[in-house]
């Protein structure tokens, strides 16, 4: 979550068997700085462009997909088409606001645990489970304010 140095980013790329090119380091740096957000390729491109005017949009598209294949980042599911990426590779869920179209991270260890326990009570045939997450659909009440979810004493 804290910003990684370029050299740390380089190490992580190499650890995945990827050449640590300038372009990949910059794209990785930019997308990791967006932790908690779910950008499209164009947004990443616009952010890195001022300091790196020679990197092309096509490279950003390709690089983000390369990162997904290598597990460095994830895709996030969308309702209205369009590819969005998620710098957060920890198990977590998402809140979708149908007003603002925001996708908000929802990290809740108790929920993860609950689901894990639940799926132990199920016998899946012909399916190799990788992960699961929850989608919360609804609307922000005040679009400008944050959504918060706290534990409450039952």
What's the min distance (Å) between Cβ of 131 and Zn ion? 13
CB proximity list for 115: less than 8 A, separation 6 or greater:
132, 134
CB proximity list for 42: less than 8 A, separation 6 or greater:
57, 60
Q: Which of 87, 75, 88, 70 is nearest to 17 (CA)?
A: 70
Binding to Zn ion (CB under 5 A): which residues in 76-135? 97-99
Beta bridge pairs of residue 97: 138
Q: Report the distance separating Cα 85 and Cα 38, nearest Å.
A: 5
97 binds, among DNA, Mn ion, Zn ion, none (CB under 5 to 8 A by kind): Zn ion
What's the min distance (Å) between Cβ of 4 and its own copies? 26
Binding interface with Mn ion (CB under 5 A): 86, 88, 105
Place of tokens 């930019």: 30
Q: Is 134 in the site for its own copies (CB under 8 A)?
A: yes
| Total residues in contact with its own copies, by rule CB under 8 A | 50
107 binds, among DNA, Zn ion, Mn ion, none (CB under 5 to 8 A by kind): none
Q: Is 55 in the site for DNA (CB under 7 A)?
A: yes
Beta bridge pairs of residue 95: 104, 136
The region of 14-22, 24-32, 53-61, 81-89 touching its own copies under the rule CB under 8 A is 81-89
105 binds, among Mn ion, DNA, its own copies, none (CB under 5 to 8 A by kind): Mn ion
Q: What are phi and psi of 75, to 5 degrees?
A: -90, 155
Q: What angle do CA 94, 58, 16 make, to 5 degrees?
A: 65
What's the min distance (Å) between Cβ of 152 and DNA? 38
Q: Which residues bind DNA (CB under 7 A)?
A: 10, 13-14, 18-24, 40-42, 54-59, 61-63, 65-66, 81-83
């Amino acid at each position: 979550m804290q910003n990684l140095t370029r050299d740390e980013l380089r190490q992580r790329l190499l650890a995945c068997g990827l050449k640590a090119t300038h372009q990949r380091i910059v794209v990785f740096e930019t997308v990791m700085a967006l932790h908690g957000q779910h950008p499209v390729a164009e947004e990443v491109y616009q952010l890195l462009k001022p300091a790196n005017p020679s990197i092309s949009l096509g490279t950003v598209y390709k690089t983000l997909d390369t990162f997904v294949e290598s597990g460095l980042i994830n895709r996030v599911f969308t309702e209205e088409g369009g590819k969005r990426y998620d710098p957060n590779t920890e198990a977590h869920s998402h809140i979708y606001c149908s007003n603002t179209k925001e996708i908000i991270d929802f990290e809740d260890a108790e929920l993860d645990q609950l689901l894990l326990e639940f799926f132990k009570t199920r016998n899946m045939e012909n399916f190799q489970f990788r992960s699961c997450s929850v989608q919360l659909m609804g609307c922000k009440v005040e679009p400008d304010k944050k959504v918060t979810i706290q534990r409450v004493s039952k």
